[in-house]
């Protein structure tokens, strides 16, 4: 995935460059959180209404999602959730990857040990792939 300046910020194979990106807050340069955790998952034949867990944090930790990418073998809707709360609903075409950036500060899970998952709402069985990146704290 590339930012608006054309710089590589994450690849779907989970390789994250060590270069930080800077944002602007009120005209003053502000540091953006750097990813230190990348998790991937693949699941075949995930039933409609079932979820594929992408990221299970270390015991007692909260995941902070900075971005994610998901793909499905069939077209339909997927929901990326953190601790069971929907972070974003995505309409995905079959066999294509849809990626989102959550923002400079990301989305911090409400509770320790909350997992990041993707809920299948395609209407049938689907092979799902997911990658999520961020930090644990």
13-27 average pLDDT score = 48
2-10 average pLDDT score = 52
Dist. CA 72–CA 126, nearest whole Å: 6
Dist. CA 115–CA 82, nearest whole Å: 6
Beta pairing, strands 76-82 & 22-25:
unpaired
**Both tokens assigned to 28:** 């003053």
**Both tokens assigned to 136:** 């644990």
The model's pLDDT over 23-79, given as tens digits with 9 standing for 90+, comes to: 555 555 556 788 999 999 999 999 999 999 999 999 999 999 999 999 999 999 999
Name all domains of the chain by residue range, CATH numbers in brackets: 34-136 (2.60.120)
Dist. CA 54–CA 121, nearest whole Å: 16
The model's pLDDT over 74-133, given as tens digits with 9 standing for 90+, comes to: 999 999 999 999 999 999 999 999 999 998 889 999 999 999 999 999 999 999 999 999
The model's pLDDT over 63-86, given as tens digits with 9 standing for 90+, comes to: 999 999 999 999 999 999 999 999
């Amino acid at each position: 995935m590339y930012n608006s300046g054309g710089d590589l910020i994450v690849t779907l194979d989970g390789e994250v460059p060590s270069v930080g990106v800077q944002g602007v807050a009120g005209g003053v340069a502000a540091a953006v959180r750097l990813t230190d955790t990348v998790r991937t998952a693949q699941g075949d034949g995930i039933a409609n209404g079932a979820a594929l867990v992408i990221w299970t944090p270390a015991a007692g930790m909260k995941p902070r999602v900075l971005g994610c990418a998901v793909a499905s073998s069939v077209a339909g809707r997927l929901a990326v959730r953190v601790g069971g709360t929907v972070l974003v609903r995505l309409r995905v075409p079959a066999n294509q990857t849809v990626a989102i950036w959550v923002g400079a500060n990301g989305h911090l899970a409400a509770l320790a040990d909350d997992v990041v998952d993707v809920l299948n709402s395609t209407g049938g069985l689907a092979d799902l792939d997911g990658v999520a990146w961020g930090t644990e704290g």
